Amino acid sequence: MSRKIYYIQAMQEGLRAAMAEDDSVVVIGEDVDRSIIGATRGLVGEFGEDRVRNTPISEATFVGACVGAAAVGLRPVVDLMVGSFFYVAMDQVANQAAKLRYMSGGQVDLPIVYFTATGPSGSGAAQHSENPHPMLMNVAGLKIVMPSTPYDAKGLMLSAVREPNPVVYFQDFVLGGTKGEVPEEPYAIPLGVADVKRRGTDVTVVAIGATVPKALKVAAALEKEGISAEVVDPRTLAPLDTDTILESVGKTGRLVVCDSARLTCSAASEIVATVTENAYGVLKAAPQRVAWEDVPVPFSPVLEKRVLVDEDRIRAAVMKTLA
């Protein structure tokens, strides 16, 4: 029977299940023994310091070291703490982990999970509020997941750890304290499979990460006005389940894409381009993108709110497709 638990607890349950089934899974990162975010808290007492290792505050060092560890048989799960820190270790992620399996002709597996809390957390300011998933989507060789619910967080974590290729696992900061139904037993959600969170017939809303609950609230409100919105959560951004998205747009003829990242070169832009290229003939209106403003995330709470995706902007985009 399912229970309602927090997103962070669900992540930890998925990680714990992966560690219990495979002794080669190790957790490495900054303060993973106490875990400020909470996803690795308590694991050191259960699995020991050999498998849960704190590191110095040097992301490039431990991210790079885990490429070597994965190449020789371990399955490192690397806690980068904050999404902005990917920039510090970009060479190790994009130029080493993402390419080594290809450059070795498939002789070397790279089973690494890089996970991090990402996006604004409430006045985290510009250097601690990034959501770099669009940039990493452009790096061939990486798989990218971004769960929006506790249920997805647990199942995608277990699948990510089992994956023989590098996986980047984004946990949107603002979702960490949300609750949802999660089975007690381990389960895996396949990478690359989207989920239709709400069925509808008038417009397709593809929502990513923290925009999913906002899109669902908008859809519920629109239903009272006689507008039926279908909400699709990709869950995995690379590989992207384009079939599910195209099937939905084929039914509704309208598309709005909501992304927790800047508008330019966003995941929203890629999804709109894909739909326009493959389903232009069924579109009844121009697709709409709802994403962050193209500026650094401000420290000011008022300005931060202005930059990010909110329900009013999602609603306005939906209504524009219906005009």
Residues 142 and 132: their CA atoms lie apart, in Å, by: 13
User: Rounded to an integer, what is the distance from CA 84 to the centroid of its chain?
Assistant: 14
128 is catalytic: yes
Has residue 26 got a pLDDT over 90? yes
Query: Omega of the bond prior to 239 within 30 degrees of 0, cis?
Result: yes
Which tens digit of pLDDT belongs to each residue from 209-237? 999 999 999 999 999 999 999 999 999 99
pLDDT at position 1 is 54
Residue 312: which residues within 8 A CB-CB, separation 6 or more?
Answer: none
Question: Averaged over 169-187, what is the pLDDT?
Answer: 94
pLDDT band at 120 (very low <50, low <70, confident <90, very high): confident
Of 51, 128, 133, 262, which is the active-site residue?
Answer: 128
The answer to whether domain 2-183 and domain 195-322 are alike in fold is: yes
Q: Return the CATH number of the domain spanning residue range 2-183.
A: 3.40.50.970
Please state the domain extents for the chain. Answer: 2-183, 195-322
Has residue 135 got a pLDDT over 90? yes
Six-digit token string for 224: 């009272």
Residues 117 and 80: their CA atoms lie apart, in Å, by: 8
- Look up the pTM and report it: 0.94
Range 195-322: architecture per CATH: 3-Layer(aba) Sandwich (3.40)
What is the residue type of 92?
Q
